Amino acid sequence: ALAVALVSLAAAAWWTVGRAPLRAQGVGGSRYRTGSSSAATWPRTGGSTGRHGPGRCRSGSAATASRPACCPCSGNAVRDHGKLSFTWFGPVPRVMIPDPDLVREIFNKFDQFGKPKMIRVGKLIATGVVSYEGEKWAKHRRILNPAFHHEKIKRMLPVFANCCTEMVTRWENSISLEAASEIDVWPEFRNLTGDVISRTAFGSSYQEGRRIFQLQEELAQYLTEALQKLFITGYWYLPTKNNRRMREIDREVRKILLEIIGNKERAIKYGENSNDDMLGLLVESNTKQPELGMSMETTSVLLTWTLIVLSMHPEWQERAREEVLHHFGRTRMPDYDSLSHLKIVTMILYEVLRLYPPVVLLNRRTFKETELGGIKYPADMNLILPILFIHHDPEIWGKDASEFNPGRFADGISNASKNHDVSFFPFGWDPRICIGQSFALLEAKMALSMILQRFSFELSPSYIHAPYIVLTLRPQHGAQIKLKKI
Ligand code: HEM
């Protein structure tokens, strides 16, 4: 381990001394304070050298009701080093781009800025369309698009409804009529979203799908620990207990998938099954690893934060309930058209996605030497697009940026912030915008409506507000809510 650490340190040192700084192109420095260096050059040696990898992030006492205290892309790096700062991930420099205009430029020039090279271990959780580039990405995205067409998603509504009914019925049966009962909604929502995605994506192979998501959940935990050490070159290849377990999980997931896919391929071949469901399309796109594990995570954290925040803001909980009861009464199953027309609920979900974006940052890489915002970056530079930071920036959202105020979305997303179109991007941005956005929002609306129809809720005294990051932004100590039947 020592040898590997030394190799890594040597690599980092090589990077620092072995690359000549690049001069800014004829501009009087960048628009930002640039660490301790006044010239807009890159790389600099005066910026932060701390490793703000996702795994290092822990919430602390400074967390407020609406804002995570510590995050690689929240205030710490900016406070210490200015808006434009960089960190080292082993030998790879990472620069944070907290300016919506530059973020838009990066999205628009997707032939110049691509996905970062995947570290070996990252491939365990995110291969497929989410990591592909160029023609390969376009081909796979084209194949997958039909599965997420709104007509297809509309047809999935009964699955959403059944899974949500199972969950709220279980809650109803477990709590008494008179008193409020405590329930940790975080594992409940993980279960729900795992159910939904397994049933919609894997159909009759649902049980195997569930097993895959359980394994991916376990993998996420190991991965988070590993992320703190992965900057050490070759760490992944050490036979540590965690690394061995991660490999085992990978093997098991692949085995289950190959079996499911083999069955599906046979069914398609003999005309027993159509290939236009999600799994069929994944098979057609030759995806041997489903990129669906993360989707279950992201949707479940959205629902979890929504219940937490509505517990903190009973007035918005009441407004949402009024709207839901107006459309569906206390017993009617929410239908697609009415769900699409819920205004208050949609505003609330957007505001939760602003304050607690499940994906806190996006990563991009420069393909070649590239100029951005007056600074020239070398090839293979890692750029961080800090969703969480931009969503909380008072310069964009006003003085109440860290307050929960769904009213700011009353006139739609484009009027919610001050003139920046890329200031709210919990689902990323074109052309690589999240393919499952409508799927996730519909599922969240269905679950929230059915909960509001049946229960009122408040925070339990045992709840500790501690947003932290294990791949997604989640509540570190669970989400204990007191539910009361209404
Ligand atoms: C609240 C829920 C969700 C959030 C916040 C979310 C967020 C995101 C974000 C930020 C990206 C862009 C990544 C990037 O540009 O680097 C993305 C991409 C993607 N998401 Fe989601 N997601 C959610 C739910 C889902 C669901 C339910 C599915 C599938 C069932 C899904 C499938 C995908 C896929 C396949 C991509 C890659 C798209 C591409 O590169 O063309 N997501 N998601």
pLDDT 10s digits, 365-376: 999 999 999 999
Res 141: pLDDT: 86
- Judged against a pLDDT cut of 60, whether residue 289 lies above it is answered with no
Res 225: pLDDT: 73
Find the range with the poorest average confidence among 82-86, 256-260, 284-288, 311-315: 284-288
- Judged against a pLDDT cut of 80, whether residue 231 lies above it is answered with no
Res 45: pLDDT: 30
Q: Is the ipTM of this complex over 0.90?
A: yes
Report the chain's C-alpha Rg in angstroms.
Answer: 23
Is 164 annotated as belonging to a binding site?
A: no
* Cβ–ligand 1 contact at 200 (below 6 Å): no
- Judged against a pLDDT cut of 80, whether residue 264 lies above it is answered with no
3-state DSSP assignment of residue 19: coil
d(CA 40, CA 31): 9
* Cβ–ligand 1 contact at 428 (below 6 Å): yes
Res 137: pLDDT: 87
* Cβ–ligand 1 contact at 129 (below 6 Å): yes
Res 33: pLDDT: 28
Task: State the closest ligand 1 atom to the C-alpha of 433, by its place in the atom list counted from 1.
Answer: 12
* Cβ–ligand 1 contact at 282 (below 6 Å): no
The residue to which tokens 């690589």 are assigned: 432
- Judged against a pLDDT cut of 80, whether residue 109 lies above it is answered with yes
- Judged against a pLDDT cut of 70, whether residue 332 lies above it is answered with yes
Kindly give the distance from the C-alpha atom of residue 433 to the centroid of ligand 1, in angstroms, as a whole number.
Answer: 7
Average pLDDT value for the chain: 78
- The residue-averaged pLDDT of 450-479 equals 94
Kindly give the distance from the C-alpha atom of residue 440 to the centroid of ligand 1, in angstroms, as a whole number.
Answer: 9
Task: State the closest ligand 1 atom to the C-alpha of 197, by its place in the atom list counted from 1.
Answer: 30
- Judged against a pLDDT cut of 50, whether residue 63 lies above it is answered with no
Kindly give the distance from the C-alpha atom of residue 301 to the centroid of ligand 1, in angstroms, as a whole number.
Answer: 13
Task: State the closest ligand 1 atom to the C-alpha of 128, by its place in the atom list counted from 1.
Answer: 35
Find the range with the poorest average confidence among 12-21, 86-95, 142-151, 390-399: 12-21
Output the pTM of the full model.
0.81
- Judged against a pLDDT cut of 60, whether residue 6 lies above it is answered with no
d(CA 27, CA 30): 7
* Cβ–ligand 1 contact at 427 (below 6 Å): yes
* Cβ–ligand 1 contact at 300 (below 6 Å): no
In our burial notation (b when 16+ CB lie closer than 10 A, e otherwise), range 193-213 reads bbbbbbbbbbbebeeebbebb
The residue to which tokens 């999240």 are assigned: 434
- Judged against a pLDDT cut of 70, whether residue 26 lies above it is answered with no
pLDDT band at 121 (very low <50, low <70, confident <90, very high): low
Higher pLDDT, 446 or 278: 446
Q: Whose CA is nearest to atom 12 of ligand 1?
A: 428
Terminal-to-terminal C-alpha distance of the chain: 58
- Judged against a pLDDT cut of 90, whether residue 444 lies above it is answered with yes
9-13, 142-146, 414-418: range with highest mean pLDDT: 414-418
pLDDT tens, 161-211?
999 999 999 999 988 777 779 999 999 998 899 888 888 877 767 778 778
- Judged against a pLDDT cut of 50, whether residue 105 lies above it is answered with yes
Res 423: pLDDT: 95
Q: Which residues pair with 481 in a beta bridge?
A: 183, 459
Q: What's the one-letter identity of residue 184?
A: D
* Cβ–ligand 1 contact at 385 (below 6 Å): no
- C-alpha distances (whole Å) from 224 to each of 236, 444, 471 are 13, 26, 7
